[in-house]
Amino acid sequence: MTEHLNVLIIGAGLSGIGAAHHIREAFPNRTYAVFEARDAIGGTWDLFRYPGVRSDSDMQTLGYRFRPWTDAKAIADGPSILRYIRDTAAAGGIDKHIRYDHPVTRATWDSSTARWTIEAEHGGEIVTVTCDFLYCCSGYYRYGQGHAPEFDGVDDFDGRIVHPQAWPEDLDYTGKNVVVIGSGATAVTLVPAMADRAAHVTMLQRTPTYILSQPSQDAFANALRKIVGNRISYGITRWKNVLRDTLVYQLCQRYPDTMRKFIRGLTIKELPEGFDVDTHFKPPYNPWDQRLCLVPDSDLFKAIGSGDASVVTDRIDRLTAKGILLESGAELPADVVVTATGLKLLAFGGIQFTVDGTPVDIGSTLSYKGMLLGGIPNFAFTVGYTNASWTLKADLVSEYVCRMLRYLDEHDYGTFVPQPEPGIEGAPLLNFSAGYVLRALDEFPKAGTRAPWRLGMNYAQDLLTLRHGRINDKAMHFTKKLSDRNTDGAEALPA
């Protein structure tokens, strides 16, 4: 007998554990399991082990709405975030529902049974289960390998090349010259973290990034917590941060020139007098065209100011025995080269979807409100915001999923499927111009250019539409539960 579950969640990262919490709370009697490819909880926050690994958003918004973040630090280190996810899983008994080492490879929908058949690999065998509802929380990138451009002369280099996604436990960089290639969130985290022990750390970037400093501790949150307790202070601080971040984002969208000047002014104040801010900290794009980088307590700027770290803006010609030769002709000495050059994106954990015998080409699907897929029944996925904390969206998607499952029950429906009308134009689901995102966009679903297919990028607006908006809009189609169907098969009921 094939095991049957009401809900199958794919991925035991921040999103998957949150999803399991919502399902368990809303439907205590339903059966569910979390299939996890790795042998650990935490996803990103377990995988990345590089020095200084931390969030680059505040934990009041990266934390779950239902579980207050109580540490004093709002910009938290990786191990604390991992502990938070593990504690959430343990508190709800979710950890007992996780099936580790179960990478899901295939998901096959059959309308005649109104079920998904899921195949996962485990111990060299294929494990098969069926489920009513499939909830994909598999993140957005390939776990096995990060993005590492090929540089000429790699074989000539006498030192060590490491990627932040596969940090070697035995790497000792004490007293060594380190070059970190990249200018994104990982690079700006690594540079000050490694500067303490290394002889010198150079951040080698092709293109500068906007970098803002924020106190690692939120004095307001910490003071308020003492007065009104964890839960109330968490809710208030969460909204304060949502509104602050939305305001900054909107200002950057509407007044890019003013915001460019404003950020430049802040950066000049952070750096030693005479520092060439325009070469190293003036990106050619507008703020928030790519993710803005946050550094806690000015740590990157302090490392540069002390001389322990520096920034070089140039292009790599090749690696040499002793370092990196740049196109300008300069050579950077290096014992260790860290390629903080990004991720390899992967949609839905590489799972092959089939609906009623037809394989699904994910790149040509349209996403409904950035969480369901056109033509794919009883399915939802979590991809968080790119302009705000991931979990803000993840929580809302789970709330919507619970609303939808309740709606199905109340109307005796067994199946829902959003169906796009012809002629809706597709826009990128990940609305970002970073190179590693652009390279993979074709493999991701598209977002539509009009509602309900448009991707919401505003938490307050999404909160209204996902928590309170109509479930049975024009795009959504429902089918009665199998037991209630006519004998001649499925009966599609447009809303």
Ligand X SMILES: Cc1cc2nc3c(=O)[nH]c(=O)nc-3n(C[C@H](O)[C@H](O)[C@H](O)COP(=O)(O)OP(=O)(O)OC[C@H]3O[C@@H](n4cnc5c(N)ncnc54)[C@H](O)[C@@H]3O)c2cc1C
Question: What is the contact surface with ligand X in residues (CB under 6 A)?
Answer: 10-16, 35-38, 43-44, 48, 55-57, 62, 103-104, 137-139, 143, 186, 349-351, 382, 384, 389-390
Q: How far is the CB of 39 from ligand X (least distance, A)?
A: 10
CB nearer to ligand X: pick between 135 and 368: 135
Q: How far is the CB of 139 from ligand X (least distance, A)?
A: 2
Q: What is the DSSP letter of 425?
A: P
Distance CA 51, CA 461 (A): 37
Q: Which of 73, 142, 198 is nearest to 348 (CA)?
A: 142
Peptide bond into 420 cis (omega under 30): no
CB nearer to ligand X: pick between 118 and 324: 118
Q: How far is the CB of 259 from ligand X (least distance, A)?
A: 21
What does the angle CA 12 – CA 13 – CA 18 come to, to the nearest 5 degrees?
A: 85
> Are the C-beta atoms of residues 437 and 430 closer than 8 Å to each other?
yes
CB nearer to ligand X: pick between 326 and 441: 441
Q: Give every CB contact of residue 207 below 8 A, 6+ residues apart in sequence.
A: 183, 283, 284, 313
Tokens, residue 400? 């919507």
Q: How far is the CB of 17 from ligand X (least distance, A)?
A: 8
Q: How far is the CB of 4 from ligand X (least distance, A)?
A: 19
**145: part of which helix (H) or strand (E)?**
strand 141-146
Q: How far is the CB of 135 from ligand X (least distance, A)?
A: 11
Give every strand in the sheet of 492-494, ordered side by side.
413-418, 476-480, 492-494
Tokens, residue 322? 């002793």
Q: How far is the CB of 294 from ligand X (least distance, A)?
A: 8
Give every strand in the sheet of 200-205, ordered side by side.
160-162, 336-339, 177-181, 200-205, 309-313
CA-to-CA dists, residue 478 to 4, 405, 491, angstroms: 22, 12, 8
Place of tokens 């002629």: 423
Q: How far is the CB of 389 from ligand X (least distance, A)?
A: 4
> Are the C-beta atoms of residues 462 and 366 closer than 8 Å to each other?
no
> Are the C-beta atoms of residues 440 and 363 closer than 8 Å to each other?
no
> Are the C-beta atoms of residues 281 and 211 closer than 8 Å to each other?
yes
Q: Is the dihedral of CA 250, 252, 256, 259 positive or negative?
A: positive
CB nearer to ligand X: pick between 106 and 485: 106
Q: Please, what's the b/e burial string for 381-395 (b: 16 or more CB within 10 A of its CB; e: otherwise)?
A: bbbbbbbbbbbbbbb
CB nearer to ligand X: pick between 243 and 451: 243
CB nearer to ligand X: pick between 212 and 326: 212
CB nearer to ligand X: pick between 142 and 411: 142
CB nearer to ligand X: pick between 36 and 335: 36
Q: How far is the CB of 405 from ligand X (least distance, A)?
A: 20
CB nearer to ligand X: pick between 119 and 473: 119
Q: How far is the CB of 228 from ligand X (least distance, A)?
A: 26
- HSE value, Cβ hemisphere, 13 Å, CA-based, for 445: 27
**To 10 degrees, what angle do helices 390-410 and 459-468 make?**
10
| Helix, strand or coil, per DSSP, at residue 437 | helix
Q: How far is the CB of 493 from ligand X (least distance, A)?
A: 32
CB nearer to ligand X: pick between 75 and 475: 75
Q: Where are the alpha helices (DSSP H) in 272-339?
A: 277-280, 299-305
Q: How far is the CB of 37 from ligand X (least distance, A)?
A: 4
CB nearer to ligand X: pick between 332 and 360: 360
CB nearer to ligand X: pick between 48 and 116: 48
Distance CA 391, CA 393 (A): 5
Query: In this structure, how many other beta carbons lie within 10 angstroms of the beta carbon of residue 119?
Result: 17
